[in-house]
Structure 1
Amino acid sequence: MRASRIALATALLAPTLAWAGAHATSPEVRQWRPGVGERRQVADLGVRIHGAGDVVVVLLSGLASSERLWGGAYDVLGQHARVVAIDPIGFGASMESAALAREIDADAHVDAVLAVLTALDLHELPAMIVGHSMGASLALRVAARHAPASMVVAYDAPLYFSTEEADERVRHMGWFESLLAQGPLAERVCEWMCDNRRVAKALAVAISPRLPVVVASDTVQHTWRGYITGFNSLVRDAGWSEALRVLSTRNVTVRLVDGDHDPVQVPGRADELASTYSNVTAFRLPGGHRLPLSDPVGCASIVLAALSEYADKRS
């Protein structure tokens, strides 16, 4: 009897022990810590602000994410610039943005980011727009509309020329990710999460042991309308290509930084764009589609180098 109880206890504890082991050994967990700064609502979006200087660094999080993605490794940016980390419409602390009551397209997302800079009286300062995934696509569009923008750093940007190409790349992420990216089942799952937010967060943490707990819990901090409008207007839409053309005419430096085994990327796309536009440079770092988490020091260093380059040009 005692042996069977021990066996039962071991079986019940095994998933918890496996989760704890994966969590403790995850490089993304070990490297992440909360970022500094003041979190508040500005122009109806959730933002975190820190640092000082006469240059602004805007950090834009991606699909099903929040500004907490940009953890403590990025605090160093505040030593050289005013840092504004923003949750785009529909995600994180912007999940209940009033903008969701209206039609949401890429321009609405850009308007919202620019409204934050205006509300903070930072809209006339030179700006470096940095984004990850969907946020990288948004970063290109923001910079194209924002005259003081001097550089874009785009991590794991979804650069697709058609919705068909976008859907094909999503399928490369795996059957589960593809199933929940869009469609009736994805909508039902998302609606269930809205109705059971606390349980959904716990499940998100449970199935993502290699992510920091708060980052994992933020993956469900959205509604279906917020998610699908962001996905359609900033991931599946090819408007980034026109933004890139505008940035080329203004000679705004663009750095496309991809993980060397990121399934989201179209093979060779970043290199193709770099060969087409003299203002574009393509980089690869070891990793997949979560570069700001998997290599935060490397990603922060690229932005620091951009700040140094900009300072040298001004001196």
Structure 2
Amino acid sequence: MEIRNRKEFLLLGLTGDPTLQSLIFSLFLFMYMVTILGILLIILAVSSDSHLHTPMYFFLCSLSLNDICFITSTIPKMLLNIQTQDQSITYTGSLSQVCFVIIFAVLENFLLAVMAYDRYVSICYPLSYTTIMKLCLCVLLLLTYLSISTVDALFDTLIILRLSFCTALEIPNFFCELPQIIKLACSDTLIDNILIYVETCIFAGLPLSGIIFSYIHIVSSILTIPSSEGKHKAFSTCGSHLSVVSLFYGTAFGVYISSAVTDSPGKTAVASVMYTVVPPMLNPFIYSLRNRDMKEAVRMLISRIASLL
């Protein structure tokens, strides 16, 4: 039986064990609050220190805001479902969640790529850095990438709209993920899967290729620096970004491999946590602990807050 006028989907979450629901609720609420507070601390630290008003930190704040939106598109609904003991999500709600998740996931790829380009210009062309990386260019790049991400998400939403669904509308995850929704369809999904594969290659493969290209040239330039102190300083400016890139793409590839080698929906759902929740939560700490300027800015901000209390 096919359903054209869908009413709702069911989000099965991470586990069906009711005794673990309170633990999962507490854990994810804690992770969500830590993420929000950590990101707000980064943004406030950058805003309060005029020395950090540079393209590098402009993109860092943009990445931080995107991380807030990324995690907010999934976790609050999950917490609400656990709290109300209601696994349902409306069809309109599922479309909205798919759309927002794709927007912020694709934008994350682009932001990591443009941050790698920023480091490439800074290290390989230091004398021309301020000329190339102007504020108007940074804003234009951000708006362009946001527009591309939005168009891609709307296109994927149209893919769902043309599908017919069976009566079993259970999604074995804590949020609506496009591939899992397509698996529920009764209609032919061959073209849809091909389109998703092509989109993934374009919107994940191209930014990743740009990051690799940038770091190949960065490493080549750093190796030509005669002093070991200069090399260390150059590498330190890239360390935080490289850690964030490794975390994001490492967890994303881990989810892909996990879904390919296991038929367990529960394991796939747990793996999805690794790229939707863990990177946004850890990014503020990576930039705070590995970046000397950020550590100083955060320390000064905390001191100011403490003095007001």
- TM-score normalized by structure 2? 0.33
* Bigger helix share: 2
More strand by share: 1
> Relative contact order, CA 8 A, sep 6+: which one is greater?
2
Q: Which has the larger radius of gyration?
A: 2
Structure-1-length-normalised TM-score? 0.32
